[in-house]
Amino acid sequence: MPRAANRLSPLPVFNEDENQFEQYLKIVQTANDAGFHTLDDIADYCLTSDITMANGNNYQKSNYRAVLGNLGRLGFIVEDNGKSVCTDSPSLGKNIL
């Protein structure tokens, strides 16, 4: 039986004005420093961030959570023992920023 493809949307927005990819990685580190380690806690933390839609409104928590989860699937965020951290390589586990 065929399997459905993994869905990797939503992902961070890239344009000349802002680099949401970098903003998401920085918010994960900032959230970790503030004591938030699970993706759900980090998604809550994103609600107070500068990562917004083009009209300046915040995304919903579910959208932040989906983006964080997809960055994890791509290897930029690694979950280990309930803690989510940024890496520059899934195999190296080194801090990206």
Q: How far is CA 80 from CA 14, 20, 29, 77, 95, in A?
A: 28, 24, 15, 10, 14
Residue 33 lies in a domain: yes
Residue 62 lies in a domain: yes
Residue 56 lies in a domain: yes
- CATH code at 47? 1.10.10
Can you give the pLDDT of all 97 residues of the chain as single tens digits? Answer: 666 666 778 888 877 777 898 899 999 999 999 999 999 999 999 999 989 888 889 999 999 999 999 999 888 898 888 888 887 544 444 554 4
pTM of the model: 0.80
Residue 55 lies in a domain: yes
Residue 5 lies in a domain: no
Residue 57 lies in a domain: yes
Residue 6 lies in a domain: no
Which structural domain, as residue segments, surrounds residue 42? 20-86
